[in-house]
Amino acid sequence: MRYLRRKLTREWFGVWSVQNYFSTLENRASAGARITYGYILMSVVSAVLATGGLLLNNAAVIIGSMCVAPFLGPSRAVCIGGVFFDRKLFFGGLAKQVLGLLIVGAGVAYVVTACLIEAKEAQVTHEILLRSMPTRSAVTLSILIAVAAGAAASLALTADPHVVESPWGQVIDAVIGVEIAISLIPPASVIGIGLALRRPDISYHALGLLTVNVVGLDIVGSMLMLAVRGIRLKYLLLEKTVRRSAETGLTRALGTSSLDGAVNVALLTPSSADVRIVLRRPSSNREIKPTLAKDTAVEIKESTGCSADVAIEIIPVQTYSMRGGS
């Protein structure tokens, strides 16, 4: 029974043996919470496409708007920030979603629809009614779709974590981004369309659907799946502490104030780690003690209580300079 529990903890409830995994999650969330011009512009484009498709009653154009919608990043910021109890990431991702959906998305839809009203070309279509006055079964299915899309986004980060940073992982992210946009950009655009058509009932119901979808996507689907897969704040802190302890031990042993190199940490279990260090050292510097790796492992053990297998790769560096002639 103890072996089975240990095996489940290692293989299911946690992501192990991946270098800098938890720090990478934090970095991804941080990037997803930042508001950029690219995000705003892509939100504008996706909202224009979604509004055109909704007013034309053209499902193909609506699907096209999902393909360019940039809402995967902020959704991950919300769920990862929630799991790591990081308010800045959580509310930063939420604010980015509100900006992209309610301000940019609904705003662009309002402007486009208002312009078409002047030309007497805007009217309520079947695609708009699907997001504004859905049946009970349609609402239930929409929630299930949002939860499934959120779960897929988290599984892409945890099911095969070695693939996340590869080109294939980027393809998976693009597909999941489309799945997430299914629940977000059409109802956001319907809010603006309803306001422009002076149909507050349409906007109200679309806002309700959007809110339910965001909760299902960010919290019920994504955050819950990360929690089930064993992503914990304590592992992020442990990874950072191991890295910091290794850097402290190295700078002390090398007699330097800063470290020229990289310390990569892969947690193997909650109490053991694999540490791979790359050092760049000028050839003229004094030789490094052969026990440096062992001493670093001892420093990590004393500082964190975590057993570490430390390997150090030293790259000699020579600097050449040349002054240009007159």
The structure tokens listed for 35 are 């508001």
Supply the DSSP string of 133-161, one letter for each residue.
S--HHHHHHHHHHHHHHHHHHHHHHHTSG
What H or E segment, with its residue span, contains residue 276? strand 272-282
Would you state the CATH architecture of domain 234-317? 2-Layer Sandwich (3.30)
What H or E segment, with its residue span, contains residue 109? helix 106-118
Sheet order of strands, 307-317 included: 261-269, 272-282, 307-317
What average pLDDT does range 190-210 have in this prediction? 91
Residues 184, 180: Cα–Cα separation, whole Å = 7
List the domain boundaries for the chain. 12-231, 234-317
CATH 3.30.70 for domain 12-231: no
Specify the higher pLDDT residue, 162 or 312: 312
pLDDT 10s digits, 108-127: 999 999 988 876 667 888 88
pLDDT 10s digits, 43-90: 999 999 999 999 998 888 998 888 888 998 899 899 999 999 999 999
pLDDT 10s digits, 2-58: 544 455 445 456 688 888 899 989 998 999 999 999 999 999 999 999 999 999 988
CB 275 within 8 A of CB 242: yes
Contacts of 17 (CB under 8 A, 6+ apart): 266, 267, 268, 274
pLDDT 10s digits, 47-57: 999 999 999 98
